[in-house]
C-alpha cells in the first residue's frame, strides 16, 4: 500500500489485536471477515461462529448469556426491545391456530401486541384475571388450544405479584408453557425460571441497562425454545445492535447495587404516601403506584414535582413518574382501562438512587 487513500482504509484493520482488555471489547461491526473461501465454507459447516451481526455478534451473545446466568436459565438471546423479546418468545411456542392465555393486567404495550398484532398471524389471545386461578383453570379446560400462558412477575402498573406456584401447577396439569416478563422484579428480586417458567423476558431498557440510554430486550429459558427464538430474532430482524448490548452489559454490572438502593427508596416512598393516596406496593421492587384522590388536580400535581421528571418509562437512576392513563395504557379503550383500574388519577413512580430524604421532600411539595 502506497497511497494515503488505501492506507487510511486498511491500516487499522490489519494490525494484530493482542491487547488484553479488562472489559469485553465492543464489536461494532456489521460483518466479519474470512481469510479464504475454505474458512467461509467452514462457517456454514459449523466450524465458525460469526458471519453477519444480524445473525450473531459477540456482544449480543454475551448479553443473552449474562442474563440467562442471572436468571439461572441455560440459555438466552438478546433482541431490539422488550416487546421484540416477548414476540420472539411467543413465536418459539405458538403458531397459527394456537391460542395464548394472558393476564389482563399486563403492560399496555404488551396488551396491544397480544390483542392487535398476533391475530394477524392467526394466533388467538384470551385475557383473564390471574388473581382468580379458578377462572384461569376454567379457560384452560374450555380451550385446549391454549399452548402458552403469559404474565408478569410484578404487573404493570398495579404491582400484583404473580402466583408462580399456581401457574406451575397449571403447567403440570394442562401441559402449557409458561412465559413471564420479569422486567419489574429483575433477577435481583426473583428468578421465575427456577419456579418452573419455560421462558423469561426482560425489557433490558429498564433495570438491566439501568441508565435510560439503551433500548434492548432479552429472552432466556429452555435451550430448545431459545434455539427457536434465536431464529425468529434473525429472520424477523429483531436483532440488537452491538453497542446497545455492550452498554446493557455495562449497566448490569451495577444492577444489584442500584436495585438495593432503589428498593429501599421505594419502600420509604410507599410508607410516605400511605396517608396521601391509595398506594400499591408489593414490598419488593423499585416501583410504587398510587391513585390521587379526586380532589387533587392531577395536572397540577405532575407540574409540581420539580426535579422528579415526567417520563413514559421507568428504572433509570433518577426518580421519575409516569402517567399510565396517557402513556403505557393509552391504546386501551375506556372500558379496558376501567377493567384493569387505570384511571386518570393513577401515578406510577420509579424510585431512583437519590437520597431518600430528598425524594420525600420533593414528592411532599407536590401535595401542598
Q: Is position 8 within any domain?
A: no
Query: What average pLDDT does this structure show over 28-55?
Result: 95
Among the three residues 232, 252, 272, which one is the final residue of a domain in this structure? 252
Q: Are residues 198 and 315 in the same domain?
A: no
Looking at the structure, tell me whether residues 85 and 219 fall in a common domain. Answer: yes
Domain end call among 252, 267, 294: 252
Decide: residue 334, CB within 10 A, 0-12 exposed, 13-18 middle, 19+ buried.
exposed
Cβ-contact 204, 67 below 8 angstroms: yes
Residues 244 and 284 in one domain: no
Ordered alpha helix ranges (H), the chain: 4-14, 37-42, 58-71, 82-91, 108-112, 133-142, 164-174, 186-189, 192-195, 223-235, 242-252, 255-273, 298-303, 334-340, 356-365
Domain check: are 146 and 293 in the same one?
Answer: no
Residue 167 domain flag: yes
Any domain includes 303: yes
Tell whether 174 and 279 lie within a shared domain.
no
Instruction: Please give the average per-residue pLDDT across 23-35, as a whole number.
Output: 94
- Given a cut of 80, whether residue 6 has pLDDT beyond it is no
% of the chain surpassing 70 pLDDT: 97
In a domain, 27, yes or no: no
On whether both 73 and 211 belong to a single domain, the answer is: yes
Sign of the alpha-carbon dihedral angle for 245, 151, 119, 224: positive
Residue 209 counted as domain residue: yes
Average pLDDT, the chain: 95
CATH number, domain at 220? Answer: 3.40.640.10
Q: What is the pLDDT of residue 19?
A: 78
Asked if pLDDT for residue 15 goes beyond 90, the answer is no
Q: How far is CA 241 from the centre of its chain?
A: 16
Let me know if residue 16 belongs to a domain.
Answer: no
Domain match, 241 and 273 both: no
Distance CA 137, CA 203 (A): 28
Least confident of 9-18, 260-269, 271-280, 318-327: 9-18
Handedness of CA 47, 29, 241, 317 (dihedral sign): positive
212 and 355 co-located in one domain: no
The CATH code of the domain that includes 335 is 3.90.1150.10
Mean pLDDT for 167-175 is 96
| 58 and 100, same domain (yes or no) | yes
Length of the chain in terms of residues written: 368
Is 149's pLDDT higher than 80?
Answer: yes
Residue 229 and residue 156 share a domain: yes
Query: What is the chain's Cα-based Rg?
Result: 23
Using an 8 Å Cβ cutoff, are 200 and 220 in contact? Answer: yes
Confidence of residue 3 (pLDDT cuts 50, 70, 90): confident
Q: Which domain holds residue 181?
A: 37-252
* Residue 2 belongs to some domain of the structure: no
Domain shared by 174 and 62, yes or no: yes
The count of domains in the chain is 2
Q: Which residue has the cell 416478563?
A: 181
The answer to pTM > 0.75 is yes
Domain identity same for 271 and 217: no
142 burial (CB, 10 Å; 0-12 / 13-18 / 19+) is exposed
Q: Which of 252, 279, 298 is the last residue of a domain?
A: 252
In a domain, 144, yes or no: yes
Amino acid at each position: 500500500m502506497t497511497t494515503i487513500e488505501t492506507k487510511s482504509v486498511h491500516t487499522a484493520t490489519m494490525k494484530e489485536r493482542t491487547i488484553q482488555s479488562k472489559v469485553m471489547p465492543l464489536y461494532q461491526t456489521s460483518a466479519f471477515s474470512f481469510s479464504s473461501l475454505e474458512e467461509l465454507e467452514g462457517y456454514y459447516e459449523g466450524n465458525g461462529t460469526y458471519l453477519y451481526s444480524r445473525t450473531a455478534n459477540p456482544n449480543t451473545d454475551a448479553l443473552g448469556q449474562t442474563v440467562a446466568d442471572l436468571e439461572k436459565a441455560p440459555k438466552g438471546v438478546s433482541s431490539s426491545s422488550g416487546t421484540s423479546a416477548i414476540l420472539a418468545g411467543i413465536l418459539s411456542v405458538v403458531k397459527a391456530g394456537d391460542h395464548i392465555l394472558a393476564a389482563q393486567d399486563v403492560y399496555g404495550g404488551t396488551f396491544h401486541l397480544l390483542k392487535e398484532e398476533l391475530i394477524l398471524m392467526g394466533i388467538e389471545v384470551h385475557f383473564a384475571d390471574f388473581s382468580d386461578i379458578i377462572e384461569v383453570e376454567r379457560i384452560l379446560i374450555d380451550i385446549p388450544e391454549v399452548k402458552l400462558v403469559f404474565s408478569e412477575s410484578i404487573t404493570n402498573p398495579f404491582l400484583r405479584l404473580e402466583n408462580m406456584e399456581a401457574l406451575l401447577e397449571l403447567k403440570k396439569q394442562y401441559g402449557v408453557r409458561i412465559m413471564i416478563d420479569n422486567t419489574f422484579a429483575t433477577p435481583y428480586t426473583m428468578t421465575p425460571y427456577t419456579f418452573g417458567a419455560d421462558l423469561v423476558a426482560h425489557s433490558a431498557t429498564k433495570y438491566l441497562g439501568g441508565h435510560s440510554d439503551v433500548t434492548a430486550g432479552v429472552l432466556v429459558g429452555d435451550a430448545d425454545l431459545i434455539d427457536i427464538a434465536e431464529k425468529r430474532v434473525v429472520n424477523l430482524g429483531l436483532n440488537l445492535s452491538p453497542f446497545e448490548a455492550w452498554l446493557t452489559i455495562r449497566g448490569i454490572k451495577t444492577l444489584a447495587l442500584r436495585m438495593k438502593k432503589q428498593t429501599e427508596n421505594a419502600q420509604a416512598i410507599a410508607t410516605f404516601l400511605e396517608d396521601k393516596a391509595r398506594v400499591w406496593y408489593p414490598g419488593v421492587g423499585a416501583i410504587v403506584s398510587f391513585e390521587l384522590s379526586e380532589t387533587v388536580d392531577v395536572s397540577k400535581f405532575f407540574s409540581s414535582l420539580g426535579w422528579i421528571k415526567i417520563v413514559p418509562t421507568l428504572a433509570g437512576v433518577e426518580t421519575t413518574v409516569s402517567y399510565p392513563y396517557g402513556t403505557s395504557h393509552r391504546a386501551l379503550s375506556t372500558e379496558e382501562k376501567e377493567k384493569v383500574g387505570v384511571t386518570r388519577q393513577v401515578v406510577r413512580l420509579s424510585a431512583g438512587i437519590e437520597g431518600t430524604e430528598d425524594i420525600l421532600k420533593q414528592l411532599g411539595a407536590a401535595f401542598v
